[in-house]
Amino acid sequence: MNLFVGSELWPYILVIVAGFLPTDVWRWLAVVSARKLDEDSEIMILIRGVATALVAGVIMRLVLFPGGDLEALPLYVRAGSVAVAFVAYLLLKRSMLAGVLAGEAVVILGAYYTLPH
């Protein structure tokens, strides 16, 4: 496997082996087992917690330590956009659109005033 790390094929291998298979195995398992699961059983609540924390974590990693071209945007703009999106969502009748638009405005204006273009 190390042979492929960093090669042109690497992202495709990751998509199939680290993305597709571990995702679809749950979908297939559901079909094969087809048991009625108690969504409020202890194990399902634990799994839900881990999944939620993971997704929240990957979002924060993408926003605060994105790498690539996004790292050029100052950290305070990236962190500020999330904070503004969150506050706007809470203040404006829990509207997802309002939250996203407010956060986007911070990102775009921040990029406009802090980056060469």
Partner 1 sequence: MPKPRKKAAPAAKSERPDSARIFLHGARAVFTSVQAMVLFATFIGYGGLCVSLGFPLGATLLSSAVIFAMPSQLLVVSGYIGGNTLPVIALGVFLSAARLLPATVTMLPYLRGKLWQQLIASHFVAVTVWVEGKRLLPSRPANERLPFYFGFALMCVTMATLAAWIGYFLAGSLPRPLAIGLSFLTPMSFLIALIRNARDLVDYLALILGLVLAPLFVWLKLPLDLLWAGLLGGGIAWLIHRWKRARRAA
Footprint (CB under 8 A) of partner 1, residues 5-34: 8, 10-31, 33-34
Main-chain dihedrals φ then ψ at residue 88, nearest 5 degrees: -60, -40
Closest of 80, 79, 77, 88 to residue 112, by C-alpha: 77
Task: Give min distance, CB of 76 to partner 1, in A.
Answer: 14
Residue 58 is a binding residue for partner 1 (CB under 8 A): yes
Radius of gyration of the chain (CA): 20
Q: Which of 7, 66, 76, 91 binds partner 1 (CB under 8 A)?
A: 66
Write the interaction track for partner 1 spanning residues 69-98; mark x where CB under 8 A is met and - where it is not.
xx--x----x--xx--xx--x----x-x--
Q: Which residues from 34-53 bind partner 1, rule CB under 8 A?
A: 34-37, 39, 42, 44-53
Closest of 117, 116, 114, 87 to residue 100, by C-alpha: 87
- Total residues interacting with partner 1, rule: CB under 8 A: 78
Q: Which of 7, 57, 87, 91 binds partner 1 (CB under 8 A)?
A: 57
Q: Which residues from 96-115 bind partner 1, rule CB under 8 A?
A: 96, 99-100, 103-104, 107-109, 111-112, 115
Q: What is the DSSP letter of 117?
A: -
Neighbour-count burial for 84-107, b at 16+ CB within 10 Å, e otherwise: bbeebbeeeeeeeebbeebbeebb
Q: Do residues 99 and 92 make contact, with C-beta atoms less than 8 angstroms apart?
A: yes
Residue 3 is a binding residue for partner 1 (CB under 8 A): no
